[in-house]
Structures are given as C-alpha cells and as structure tokens.
Amino acid sequence: MGRDPRHAPPKIAFHDSPFRRVYLSVNVPAAVVSLLAVSAFGADIDLPKLLKAVEGRYNSVKTLEMDFEQTFFGPNQPRRTESGRLFLRKPGRMRWQYTKPDGKLYVSNGTDYWFYSPVNRRAEKMKLKEAEDMQAPMAFLIGKLDFKRDFEQFAVKEEGALVRITAVPKNLDKAPYREVSFLATPDFQIEQLTVRGQDASTMEFRFRNETRNPAQKDSLYVYVPPPGVEVVLPGKDQ
C-alpha cells in the first residue's frame, strides 16, 4: 500500500515535524559580538555572557518536561496550531505527546524514531542515523546548545523583559531553514523558538510549565504499535 502524502512522516516536509536540525551557534569574534549588542541596545546586554547562561541552563539538565504549542504557517497554506506535552532525556530521547490532535506521537529512544498518525492509524519507524535531518530543532532541549558552533551571524533585541536572539545558519544554502530566533526570559529559559524555512514557511514553538530534572519512567521512550495499526519499517513502504 502506498504512503498517504497527507500523513507522511516528518522527513517528507520541513514544516510537518519538530524533528528537524537547527544548529545554534554564533561564529563571530567576541569584539564584533559586543559591538553588535552595544550598537543596538546600549551597554546593558552582555551578549557573550547571555549566550553562555542560556547554554548552561539547558546543557546542565538530564531530563526535561514542558507543555508546547507548535504553530505552522506559510505561503498559500492555512495556519495550523498543535499542542501537547514534551518529554526529554539525555542522550537524545524525546517524546512529543500531542493532545491537539489527540493521539499524534513522535518518540525517539536515541536510536530509533517512531511517528504515529492517529488519523490513518499508521506508525512509521526509522533509524535516526539514517535520517540526520530528523534531529530536533530545539538542540538546547537535549543538551547540545553551543552558540559557537554553527551560526555565522546574529542579532539581539529586547522585547520588554525578554530578549530575542536571532541567528542565521552557517551553511545557509544547505540548511532547510534560513533563520532561527529564540525568546529568552530573565532566568535564561527559552520561552519561544521560531524557525523560518527556505520555502518561506514559519514554524513557531512556545514552551511553558517547564520542569527540570523530573523522575521519568523508561517506558516514556518506548513505542509499541497497538494491534490494527499499519506499520512501516525502515526501507519499506507498505
């Protein structure tokens, strides 16, 4: 049976999945970083210190849980908003448990990746190493945030008590996105993430009710397709 393009796994389209790699770094000299911050906002924002603080907050946790709201919009496409609860555990374990739409699920145990669509009762499994673009755009959520690694330029902007950091990927021509921005709170929590695609689409994540280092059951990161569900395995299209 061929794949239904309406419910294809997130490797098919940039905007369909939270599992897309967004590298987070700024590869510019410290003097330029400081100059950019001062020229835009005076001397109040120490950008290198801010970036290190955000890195430290997320790279120091072992488990993380939060509510999320995910909104996609793009040219000639209707605005779509989904939401649920996100569970994470280092290294690389993720569970996106949707309540809107109810039953939609993405699960990774660090090696395998499952996507389940309740609309057509279809579960698809793949190896993460076989699909490198399946990594979460929220690299900070799984302890891999490094602002010195993959971006070439950025801007910083105050929005009330919050600070927005906007970055451009180093390999702009190869990346599936052209810009990423983070909205950070005074305690260095990422409250919002916006990813702008090369196709002019935008995916926005909002996070709240964050819990750091909660106890978690191993079963959170294990997926077993229930009876009657169509299962698609790596390299197979049923």
Each domain of the chain, given as residue ranges in start order, spans 13-218
**pLDDT score for 96:** 93
CATH topology of domain 13-218: outer membrane lipoprotein receptor (LolB), chain A (2.50.20)
* Cβ 139 vs Cβ 156: under 8 Å: no
- Provide φ and ψ at 97, rounded to 5°: -105, 105
Q: How far is CA 76 from the centre of its chain?
A: 24
pLDDT at residue 23 is higher than 80: no
Q: What is the mean pLDDT of residues 46-64?
A: 90
Residue 77 has pLDDT above 60, yes or no: yes
User: What's the pLDDT score for residue 138?
Assistant: 65
CB-CB contact of 71 with 80 (8 Å): yes
81 three-state secondary structure: strand
Sheet containing 112-117, strands listed edge to edge, beginning at the edge strand earlier in sequence: 151-159, 162-169, 177-184, 190-197, 202-212, 63-74, 77-89, 93-100, 102-109, 112-117, 122-127, 230-232
* Mean model confidence pLDDT for the chain: 79
Q: Quote the tokens at residue 185.
A: 């709170």
pLDDT, mean of residues 3-27: 39
Task: Map residue 61 onto helix, strand or coil.
Answer: coil
Calpha distance 103→116 (Å, rounded): 8
Q: What is the pTM of this model?
A: 0.77
Confidence of residue 236 (pLDDT cuts 50, 70, 90): low
pLDDT in tens, 160-193: 999 999 988 887 787 777 888 999 999 999 999 9
Q: pLDDT of 129-165, one tens digit each?
A: 554 444 445 667 777 788 778 777 889 999 999 999 9
pLDDT, average across residues 207-211: 96
pLDDT at 130: 53
pLDDT value, residue 112: 86
Planar angle of CA 140, 143, 149, nearest 5 degrees = 70
